Amino acid sequence: AFIFPAATPVQFDPDKAHESVDRLCSLRPRAIYLTHFSEVTAIDDLATQLHGDLDTYAAIGRRYQAEKPDTRGIRADLKALFARRLQQHGCQLDDEALEQALGMDINLNTQGIAVWSAKQFRQSTVTQ
């Protein structure tokens, strides 16, 4: 199974997402049924993937942290992450196929990371 977190605009919070993954895993389910998808098993392996991606999403957001984050930079970094993860998973997609398969997800996650990044910027300027 290949999984990645959704960074929905205005709702993305990597710390809360980590907590949610941990809470679900603590229940020791045999399987989880993902919205719009299907049953997944190997929960611990998938949780590891999610935690790693959440950390990477946050690092990308921090890299572009500004009042108006560079969404082109965020998108490029996110697309590179997806390409790298897919390649590690054994899936070889060229750039066009990657855009066709995951372009909408990359765009949505870019927006979510940008909103979170701008929020982090505003919070950091208030505390300075």
Which amino acid, one-letter code, is at 116?
A: W
Q: pTM for the whole thing?
A: 0.92
Domain membership flag for residue 58: yes
Mean pLDDT, the chain, rounded, equals 94
Alpha helices in the chain (DSSP H): 14-26, 43-63, 71-88, 95-127
Domain membership flag for residue 2: no
Please state the domain count of the chain.
Answer: 1
pLDDT of residue 26: 97
Domain membership flag for residue 3: no
Q: How far apart are CA 32 and CA 83, in angstroms?
A: 25
Give the DSSP letter string of 61-95.
Answer: HHHT-SSS--HHHHHHHHHHHHHHHHHHTT----H
Domain membership flag for residue 4: no
Domain membership flag for residue 9: no
Domain membership flag for residue 6: no
pLDDT of residue 128: 60
Range of the domain at 49: 14-127
pLDDT of residue 35: 83
Domain membership flag for residue 71: yes
